[in-house]
Structure 1
């Protein structure tokens, strides 16, 4: 018996030195670091485990890009970390979705999926065509497209393919105008609960001259409730292709804000006072 006690006493310091399991933010920082990560496989699950077989995400990202990780959400079973990639020219964002399998395992938190807004590669060529237009062509363009002027399209596409920081800066600069637009739309009761399957209210809202006069300078393409299906919420769509959209949600009731999931809402970033930046896939 005394030998067993002696063995336990000898092992106690080793147990106390054991490092605690990594948390989502720590895993993200290791996963996007430029160098390799020997323990990477222990912290991957689901599709992420199949995608990162030989290299971490950090090894696949150009070494010249700076990486900044931020814990956006961590709950009992899921977590989301945003990663901003930037250089001297531009910024972009990716979103790491984690799940907690069991508090008793050696690595309870694992990276399950990596997401970013898809189809944005279509934006830069469109932006170049618009930016290179001579004044005479811009005049013709505006005559042919009065509902979406040259200036509107430039601003809209820049936001669509821009970083979260770009959209946040735009929103904060025009927050009073966004709030004014939300109040006007609510006061005219275009959207009713439950969600209108006929889309009559949505069509009326996006045809209203006063609403459009507020939305166009904000580079918002339309307002809807269909993308997220949040009752009493207003979705100010910036842009996107098919299901890959980016926009601003106004939902004063936090309990009705859709949760982040890698299969649909890849990011939902609180902006304060009921406003959120969101992206879908």
Structure 2
């Protein structure tokens, strides 16, 4: 495996143990002392399972960036790339008696039915307007974190209009969102947070959040918002499970 790319602005020494642990999990040699460095569901269900890195083909490029760090936990986004194809993963570490341990690993878990539907609609040479919308929506749902952030920057003016519309009419905001191949728009009156859902199936979804100044950004966790990252201004990109 190629050398792990560290895309951080903070001193590496402050993360030496954590980064080494993440590198081992995504490395092909795996982790020998799982019982000592696993916690939570990893300790309960994956002690006898190979690490993700052990199941990856050779030559995978692995890069990571820090999403959250405090005294209790750290969350990293991990990008796996090879031959022009990439996939985003998220790994969660907890501080257990001053020792960092892996507690969970996640990615956007879309069921097979999603990809079957995508393949079917992709094979059609003459798609209806609704089918073309569904096709573009599914493609957008599968975009990498970096591409989702780029899409937001590209369409920021339209998304700002949608966020304003959501305060008075979620139906009108959703209609506007569909012109960008997005799914639906939700509005939480108590916080003022606007949720522009891109797509997905059931709880496995992707989208953007507009979080007004003073409102609290939802917390990341391995059982709800598996990924939240600031993009620009009050805008965030998210994934759920």
Pick the TM interval, shorter chain: 0.7 to 0.9
Pairing 1:31-50 to 2, within 5 Å after superposition: 31-49=25-43, 50=45
Per the alignment, residue 196 of structure 1 pairs with none
Match of 2:87 among 79, 83, 92: 92
Q: CA deviation at 1:90?
A: 2.6
Cα distance between partner residues in 1 of 2:194 and 2:235: 10
Deviation of the 1:248 alpha carbon: 0.7
Match of 1:102 among 92, 97, 104: 97
Q: Secondary structure at the match of 1:218?
A: coil
1:20-35 paired onto structure 2 within 5 Å: 22-35=16-29
Distance apart, 1:244 and its partner CA: 1.4
Rounded Cα–Cα distance in structure 1 between residues aligned with 2:124 and 2:66: 42
Aligned to 2:223: 263
> Normalization by structure 1: what TM-score?
0.72
Distance 1:232 1:21 in 2: 36
1:127-206 → structure 2 map (5 Å cutoff): 127-135=118-126, 138=127, 141-142=128-129, 149-186=130-167, 188=168, 190=169, 205-206=170-171
Question: 2: distance between equivalents of 1:155 and 1:120?
Answer: 18
- 1:216 equivalent among 168, 178, 188: 178
Give the root-mean-square deviation of aligned CA atoms.
Answer: 2.5
Could you tell me which residue of structure 1 aligns to residue 105 of structure 2?
Answer: 114
Larger strand fraction of residues: 2
Structure number with larger C-alpha Rg: 1
Listed as ranges, the gaps of 5+ residues in structure 2 are: 1-12
The 3 A distance-change label for structure 1 pair 218 and 23 is farther
The CA distance in 2 between the partners of 1:254 and 1:263, in whole Å, is 25
Work out the number of aligned pairs and report it: 228
Instruction: Name 1:7's counterpart in structure 2.
Output: none
| Structure 1: runs of 5+ lacking an equivalent | 1-18, 143-148, 191-204
CA contact (8 A) 2:174 2:185 kept: no
Please give the residue correspondences for 1:238-277 in structure 2 after superposition, counting only pairs within 5 Å. Answer: 238-253=198-213, 255-277=215-237
Runs of 4+ with >4 A deviation: 19-22
